[in-house]
Chain A
Amino acid sequence: MKKNKMIERAIHGVFLILGLLTVGCVLLITVYLVISGIPAITEIGIFDFLFGKKWASTAAEPSYGILPFILTSVYGTAGAILIGVPIGFFTAVYLSKIANPKIKAFMEGAVSLLAGIPSVVYGLVGMLVLVPSVREIFDIPDGASLFSAIIVLAIMILPSIIKVSMTALEAVPKEYEDASLALGATPVETYFRVSVPAAKSGIAAAVVLGVGRAIGEAMAVMMVSGNVPNMPSLFQSVRFLTTAVASEMSYSSGLQQQALFSIALVLFLFIMLINATLNFFLKREKD
């Protein structure tokens, strides 16, 4: 009897450890980023690091200012949201409320596919189709620019926005819509003036999720943005926080590598902020 109890306790302990594994992983990532990111920031100086406009890590007199990356990531994400959210939102309303089952099934499959396509494939198509067309349409020397990256990101965040918004819209109680229809509103008016406001927390969560996806994307952006550490400008080659880490990580060492981890730490802080916001909206949606 005693032996049985011991076994049960041991097994409980094993499951407890497994349960806490996710917490451990988050701590591991946080601790590693902080430990490896702080030294460079203190050496460069937090002000020079965050607000320095010049990144020249391999120059004879290296300069480590990441303001261009921060602004590029912010502008790039904002641009992607500006284009992607309206398209995703209207698609979600159409699919969840109006589309006939066949179209809905087809489009749901298409959106899942869009979500599953590897980011390097987006990058490849962007590199060979989007970048040359941007160059021709806007008559600029190189199409690899912030603009191209924004378009690619806008497409890449579509699935998150459509799926999460659809879930929220479909969860709106039928009675709300019936009441609105009975009062004389047309179906379209009902969807936009009753269903959408009722689902607004979920739709907000969808937007925040899109922000997270866009700011965290590395490979696709790397292939279409030209990757030069300029201050952001729509038709110039730019470098994002993610691509700043990715493009130098494989050959860097010393202070340069430490600075890359500092960039990763900044990116991580952005993501944590976004996660907290996302959680806030998801909780409100649940209530």
Chain B
Amino acid sequence: MLSKKRKAYIGGMKAAMYISTGITAVFVIFLVAYVFIKGIPNISWELLSTKPSYISGNIGILPDILNTIYIVLTTLIVVIPLGVGAAIYLTEYAKNKKIVGIIEYAAETLSGIPSIIYGSVGMLFFCEFLGFRKSLLAGAMTLVIMNLPTVMRTTQESLKTVPQSYRDGAFGLGAGKWRVIRKVVLPGCVDGVITGCILSVGRILGESAALLFTAGFAHALNGIIDGLSSPGASLTVALYVYAKEQGEFGIAFAIAAILMILTLLINLSAALVSRYFMKKRKF
């Protein structure tokens, strides 16, 4: 028999757990449902395929969609080689434990820095010092620094799963270090790179504070080349401007619903990819 005191303790803890989990679940379900109910009716083909015009009073988010795509692509193209290179240095070259420690601490520090600080420094360094002015390129470069630790870490994790014997085998056959990296190590980090890409895309899509001061908030319709050198709002920045500055809540919710769908898709693909690679690794 349990004493009354123990029973009360168990009951209290159980209640706390059920209530807390319930609250968490309710928050998520409410958020998703509310954004979809308010947002999806406002999504129309016209909204997605036109640009805003003060003359006709039309609001379209095509420029913002394109800007987001440009930023995502540019950031990934730059950050992947850098992140993979850093990971290769850490797992294949670095022998000095101190250097590894410093690099990993730096990466952790980077991932803890809030985006508003990235935005401020990005503005000083890329927009002013390097003369990019407010442009998608300056925004993308700022995001490269933000996402560097993510790509580095996921690649590092996948490199750790490449068996040491593969490397030793290749070295034993007379291959140089560079050849071993190209032929043995790099193919082994594909899953890390893919995971890193997915996580980065999620982070880039959700980013707003870092972009507001580096990429600005114009809604001009541009190709990728002109787009990169001119200022432009991403979807999140556009949402902020429409909601806070212009009071266009319908448009803001439409963008929120689109972002929510994208977040769902990204989480789903991250889960699928990690399950796929887990299975592959077992054999």
Contact = CB atoms under 8 A, between A and B. Distances in A.
Contacts of B237: 120
Of B19, B34, B178, which is in contact with the most chain A CB atoms at under 10 Å from its CB? B178
B213 A250 contact: yes
B133 to A, nearest CB: 14
A186 B6 contact: yes
Nearest to B81: A18
A88 B21 CA distance: 8
A138 to B, nearest CB: 20
Nearest to A245: B116
Given A22-B149, A192-B13, A246-B116, A120 B240 contact: yes
B267 A116 contact: yes
A12 B145 CA distance: 22
Given A19-B103, A29-B113, A87-B23, A125 B35 contact: yes
B103 A11 contact: no
B113 A268 contact: yes
B171 interface: no
B27 interface: yes
Contacts of A122: 31
B205 A118 contact: yes
Given A121-B35, A124-B256, A21 B148 contact: yes
Nearest to A127: B243
B32 interface: yes
Interface in A1-59: 4, 7-8, 11-12, 14-16, 18-23, 25-26, 28-29, 32-33, 36
A20 B103 CA distance: 6
A114 B206 contact: no
Nearest to A95: B21
Interface residues of B, number: 86
B114 A117 contact: no
Interface stretch (A61-69, A171-179, A230-238, A273-281): A273-281
B277 interface: no
A81 interface: no
A264 B212 CA distance: 15
A82 interface: no
B239 interface: yes
A271 B124 CA distance: 20
Q: Which of B17, B107, B108, B178 has the most CB of A within 10 A?
A: B17
A123 B120 CA distance: 21
A112 interface: yes
Most chain B beta-carbon contacts within 10 A, residue among A16, A23, A124, A275 = A124
A279 to B, nearest CB: 7
Given A29-B113, A116-B206, A125-B35, 4 more contacts: A32-B125, A121-B260, A124-B243, A219-B208
Interface of B: 2, 6, 9-10, 13-14, 16-21, 23-25, 27-29, 31-32, 34-35, 82, 85-86, 88-90, 92-94, 99, 102-103, 105-110, 112-121, 123-125, 145, 148-149, 152, 176-178, 202, 205-209, 212-213, 236-237, 239-240, 243-244, 249, 252-253, 256, 259-260, 263-264, 266-267, 270-271
15 contacts: A15-B88, A18-B82, A21-B82, A25-B148, A29-B113, A91-B21, A94-B20, A112-B271, A113-B263, A117-B263, A188-B10, A246-B119, A249-B119, A267-B114, A274-B112
Interface of A: 4, 7-8, 11-12, 14-16, 18-23, 25-26, 28-29, 32-33, 36, 86-91, 93-95, 98-99, 107, 109-114, 116-125, 127-129, 155, 158, 162, 186, 188-189, 191-192, 212, 215-219, 222-223, 242, 245-246, 249-250, 260-261, 264, 267-268, 271-272, 274-275, 278-279
